[in-house]
Amino acid sequence: MSDPLRQELLDIFVGRATKRYGLSAINQLQHALQSAAHAEADDAPPATVLASLLHDVGHMIHKLGEDPASRGLDDVHEELGAKWLAERFGPAVSEPVRLHVAAKRYLCTVESDYFGKLAPDSVRSLKLQGGLMSADEIEAFRANPHHAEAVRLRRYDEAAKDPRATTPDFDHYLRHVAACRL
């Protein structure tokens, strides 16, 4: 992996991701590490592990301050993050990130118990992000070739909020970067 990209990722995730993650008792870095740990434990491909690690990068690179959802703003972090990632990685990393909010909307629509698994801040942001999907939105989401990995990532994302979890460090997951670079 090139040193500039490694440094950029470290600056964002180790340098800026130490603030609290929404209303949970963990920070953004812990959330990212737990998401990647879930993906790795599930034998996900390297691109999905990396997407799980980096899925919330958009929260850390926007200029809206902390917790814009509490102010009624959708930070569209999935679009911002996917654009940032697409400049550095292939679509197997950037597209599940772009779709992980749509995957939340999808799962809340098609699985009767999924909404109950959402953290309070995810419930709040769901409304800002469009709420439940229409039948046409479900069909369009399922037609996207990256939808299955986005759903997979979303499940890791939702499970990654345990203040007692232990994970490998950030460098452990950076080993996947070389396989996913453009």
Identity (one letter) of the amino acid at 48? T
Would you give the end-to-end CA distance of the chain in angstroms? 12
* Selected residue with higher pLDDT from 26 and 30: 30
pLDDT in tens, 120-130: 888 888 988 99
Judged against a pLDDT cut of 80, whether residue 38 lies above it is answered with yes
Q: What is the set of domains in the chain, with CATH numbers?
A: 3-180 (1.10.3210.10)
